[in-house]
Amino acid sequence: MVVEFVVSDAEAARLIELVGAERASLFYVRIPVELGVTRNGG
């Protein structure tokens, strides 16, 4: 299963902390993200 999400640095840190507190394994990647929207149909 793959779950992807875009959150702030603080939110990511909190999620990683919560997963660790549950003693669960988690593979994660933190990279800069750029969000945008293109105009559909010209």
Residue 41 domain flag: no
Mean pLDDT for 1-12 is 89
pLDDT band of residue 12 (cuts 50, 70, 90) is very high
The rounded distance, in Å, linking the Cα atoms of 1 and 21 is 21
pLDDT for residue 3: 83
CA dihedral 2, 33, 9, 5 (to 10 degrees): -20
d(CA 27, CA 18): 14
What is the predicted pLDDT for the residue at 20? Answer: 93
Q: Tell whether 42 is covered by a domain.
A: no
Convert the pLDDT of each residue in 15-38 to its tens digit: 999 999 999 998 988 888 888 889
| Number of domains making up the chain | 1
Model pTM above 0.85: no
User: Is 42 a residue whose pLDDT tops 90?
Assistant: no
> DSSP code of 39?
P
Q: What is the domain range of residue 27?
A: 1-36
